[in-house]
């Protein structure tokens, strides 16, 4: 009998515990239904113990979860930041374009005035290159013969005269700037009408050679084209007198000019689609068709 | 007695840890530490101490959860008995079998809980809502069983219970005695 009990003790214990559990379950359900169930001391004690233990156990998980949330937030923040930076770049680009449009608008306004003054069509052209040699001062335009650009046509900006078209191809044109040593423009002083020739010096200054007739050229005077020779129309601004040579014994004096056009920042110019009769004759024999 | 107390203490700690973790995991994905410990206890302590430990773990589960007293106590005892039976029939010493068994046991436990609840007139979930929770729960239990098993073995070894760190030894049946 003892051996039998020893062999069956686990099944017996199992059965007993199951019965106890089911009885407890039934009585607890009845107590719950009758609302007579109270919290036993064991339950209270267990909950009291469970709360701080569970809180402590939750702490690492909370820390990990918090760190993960922060990491995710950081990643999102980075993505958001990247989006915002891209947006800023986009807006800056847009702003730049607006500014450019504003500047171009101002230029165009002045060019329109010039066009009305000189009664000549103006063809806008982009400066696409500078002279490859340091000894010459010329620029390359993106307009050529296919755009009705011919050698001998004056090139201007909203500030004044820039140079003369001296060579063309179907889609490009070379402009010899006023600064070039080969350049010479018949000019007058706007205030006193004293006449002379403006020469390029190969540097960022011009030289005005004039015949002295009293004290009629002063520093600050504006020099404009005279219109003589038929190359440039009359009245195009060339530059301002910076200094006049003081050698009274010479008949011919010179003055240093600051060009009206900032040649260092040339981006866009306008080709005046007109050519004087002198240049028509000059270029006609060299295969360059006359201007329309 | 020492093994009983150890198993029960581990069970309580496991339940508390599960409760703490549940808040950070999606619903259903938190492993049932009580059930896992009962399975491990059944595999490592097949005798009276294991039976009592499973029952104790069930009682603590009842007290810590909103279940009526005795519900989990009965279920954990049933889980312990089922594991013992399965181990006897299938030899659950291989980890793959253990994992598969725990997944099935989790499903069976859920259906048993629902059935028991119906029996005592308590509302219980059946059908799709139960399956929706049950599948991730079974997966979570299966995935964590071996980790919990190693943790229990490590704890028992630290407490000096050399016997408990090894699964219960099964001797092959010899030839019939004359």
Contact yes or no for B51 and A23 at CB 8 A:
no
**Higher per-residue confidence, B62 vs A259:** A259
Segment A82-129, tens digit of pLDDT: 999 999 999 988 888 888 788 777 777 777 777 777 777 889 888 888
Please check whether residue B113 touches A, CB under 8 A.
no
Using an 8 Å CB-CB cutoff, list chain B residues near A29: 68, 120-122
B58 min Cα distance to partner chain A (Å)? 9
Tokens representing residue B42 in the block: 């059944």
- Give the per-residue SS3 of B56-74: HHHHHHHHHCCCCCCHHHH
pTM of the model: 0.49
Q: Which residue has the tokens 């106590």?
A: B73
* Percent of chain B as helix, strand, coil, to the nearest 5: 70, 0, 30
The residues pairing with A156 across neighbouring beta strands, listed in sequence order, are A161, A270
The answer to whether the beta carbons of residues A168 and A174 sit under 8 Å apart is yes
Confidence of residue A290 (pLDDT cuts 50, 70, 90): very low
Nearest-CA distance B49 → chain A (Å): 9
B20 touches chain A (CB under 8 A): yes
Handedness of CA A29, B72, B18, A50 (dihedral sign): positive
Taking CA–CA distances from B49, the nearest residue in chain A reads A10
Residue to substitute from A11, A17, A60, interface B, most B β-carbons within 10 A: A17
B67, two tokens: 């279940």
Residues of A within 8 A of B30 (CB-CB) are: none
CA–CA distances in Å: residue B134 to residues A67, A74, B101, B130: 30, 35, 15, 6
CB-based contact, B17 to chain A, within 8 Å: yes
pLDDT at site A111: 73
What number of other Cβ atoms are within 10 A of residue A266's Cβ? 18
pLDDT digits (tens, 9 = 90+) for A130-162: 776 666 788 888 888 888 888 889 999 988 999
CA distances from A231 to A68, A113, A114, A158, A278 (A): 78, 20, 17, 19, 7
Q: Whole-angstrom Cα distance, residue B137 to residue B32?
A: 8
pLDDT at A292 exceeding the cut of 50? no
Number of other residues whose CB lies within 10 A of the CB of residue B4: 18
More confident residue, A59 or A223: A223
* CA atoms of B148 and A82, how far apart (whole Å): 44
Chain B residues inside the 8 Å CB shell of A34? none
Binding-site residues on chain A for chain B (CB distance < 8 A) = 9-10, 13-14, 17-18, 20-26, 28-29, 32-33, 42-43, 46-47, 50, 53-55, 57-58, 61-62, 64-65
pLDDT band at A275 (very low <50, low <70, confident <90, very high): confident
Q: What are phi and psi of B137, to 5 degrees?
A: -65, -45
At A83 the pLDDT is: 93
The pLDDT of residue B177:
57
Q: Which residues of B touch A20 (CB under 8 A)?
A: 70, 73
* Short-list A250, A254, A243, CA closest to A194: A254
Q: What is the pLDDT of residue A91?
A: 92
Residue A76 Cα, gap to closest chain B Cα (Å): 21
Whether B70 has its CB under 8 Å from any CB of chain A: the answer is yes
- Rounding to the nearest 10 degrees, give the CA dihedral for residues B6, B8, B13, B17: 130
Please report the number of interchain residue pairs, chain A to chain B, with beta-carbon separation below 8 angstroms: 86
Local confidence band at A42 (pLDDT 50, 70, 90 cut-offs): low
CA–CA distance, B29 with B21 (Å, rounded to integer): 10
| B52 with A17: Cβ contact below 8 A | yes
CA distance A2 to chain B (A): 16
Percentage of chain A beyond pLDDT 70 is 83
**Minimum mean pLDDT among A6-15, A26-35, A158-167, B158-167: which range?**
B158-167
Residue of A nearest to B82 (CA): A14
Using the beta-carbon criterion (under 8 Å), do A24 and B13 form an inter-chain contact? no
- Average pLDDT of span A199-226: 83
Interface touch B48/A9, C-beta < 8 Å:
yes
Lowest mean pLDDT among A135-139, A184-188, A287-291: A287-291
Q: How many CB atoms lie within 10 A of CB A51?
A: 11
pLDDT given at position B128: 60
Question: What does the alpha-carbon distance between residue B108 and residue A189 come to, in Å, rounded to a whole number?
Answer: 109
Closest chain B residue to the Cα of A20, Cα to Cα? B70
pLDDT tens, N- to C-terminus, chain B (178 residues): 676 777 778 888 888 777 777 767 777 788 888 899 999 888 887 788 888 888 888 888 887 776 778 888 999 999 999 998 888 888 777 888 889 999 999 989 888 888 887 777 766 656 666 677 788 888 999 998 888 888 888 887 777 666 555 555 454 555 665 5
Cβ-proximal residues to A86 (8 Å cutoff; 6+ apart), any chain: none
**Averaged pLDDT, A190-196:** 86
CB-nearest to A28 from B24, B69, B80 is B69
Please give the pLDDT value at position A291. Answer: 45
The C-alpha atoms of residue A209 and residue A221 are separated, in whole angstroms, by 14
Q: Which of A164, A136, A132 lies closest to A149, judged by CA?
A: A164
User: Can you give the pLDDT at residue A168?
Assistant: 85
Please tell me the distance in Å from B103's CA to the nearest CA on chain A.
24
Q: Considering CB atoms only, which of B16, B52, B120 is closest to A26? A: B120
């Amino acid at each position: 009998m003892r051996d039998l009990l020893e062999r069956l003790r686990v099944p017996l214990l199992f059965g007993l515990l199951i019965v106890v559990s089911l009885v407890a379950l039934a009585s607890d359900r009845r107590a719950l239904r009758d609302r007579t169930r109270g919290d036993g001391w064991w339950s209270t004690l267990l909950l009291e113990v469970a709360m701080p233990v569970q809180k402590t156990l939750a702490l690492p998980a909370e820390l990990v979860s918090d760190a993960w949330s922060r990491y995710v937030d950081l990643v999102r923040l980075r993505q958001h930041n990247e989006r915002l930076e891209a947006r800023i770049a986009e807006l800056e680009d847009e702003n730049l374009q607006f500014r450019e449009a504003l500047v171009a608008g101002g230029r165009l306004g002045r060019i329109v005035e010039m066009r009305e003054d000189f009664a000549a069509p103006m063809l806008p052209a982009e400066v696409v290159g500078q002279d490859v040699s340091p000894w010459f001062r010329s620029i390359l335009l993106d307009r050529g013969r296919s755009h009705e650009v011919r050698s001998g046509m004056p090139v201007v900006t909203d500030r004044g005269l820039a140079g003369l078209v001296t060579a063309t191809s179907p889609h490009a044109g070379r402009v010899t700037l006023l600064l070039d040593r080969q350049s010479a423009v018949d000019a007058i002083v706007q205030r006193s009408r004293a006449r002379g020739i403006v020469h390029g010096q190969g540097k960022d200054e011009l030289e005005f050679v004039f015949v002295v007739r009293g004290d009629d050229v002063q520093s600050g005077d504006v020099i404009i084209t005279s219109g003589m020779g038929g190359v440039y129309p009359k009245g195009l601004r060339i530059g301002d007198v910076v200094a006049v040579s003081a050698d009274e014994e010479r008949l011919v004096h010179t003055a240093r000019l600051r060009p009206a056009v900032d040649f260092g920042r040339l981006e866009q110019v306008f080709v005046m689609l007109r050519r004087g009769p002198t240049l028509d004759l000059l270029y006609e024999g060299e295969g360059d068709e006359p201007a329309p | 007695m020492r093994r009983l107390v150890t198993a029960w203490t581990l069970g309580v700690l496991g339940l508390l840890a599960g409760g703490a973790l549940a808040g950070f995991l999606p619903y259903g994905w938190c492993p049932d530490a009580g059930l896992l410990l009962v399975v491990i206890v059944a595999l490592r302590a097949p005798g009276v101490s294991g039976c009592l430990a499973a029952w104790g773990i069930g009682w603590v589960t009842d007290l810590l959860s909103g279940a009526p007293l005795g519900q989990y106590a009965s279920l954990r005892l049933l889980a312990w008995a089922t594991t013992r039976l399965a181990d006897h029939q299938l030899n659950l010493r291989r980890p793959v079998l253990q994992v598969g068994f725990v997944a099935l046991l989790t499903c069976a436990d859920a259906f048993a809980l629902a059935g028991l609840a119906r029996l005592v007139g308590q509302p219980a979930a059946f059908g799709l809502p139960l399956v929706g929770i049950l599948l991730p729960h079974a997966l979570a239990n299966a995935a964590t069983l071996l980790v919990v098993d190693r943790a229990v073995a490590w704890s028992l070894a630290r407490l000096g219970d050399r016997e408990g760190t090894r699964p219960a030894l099964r001797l092959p049946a010899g030839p019939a005695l004359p």
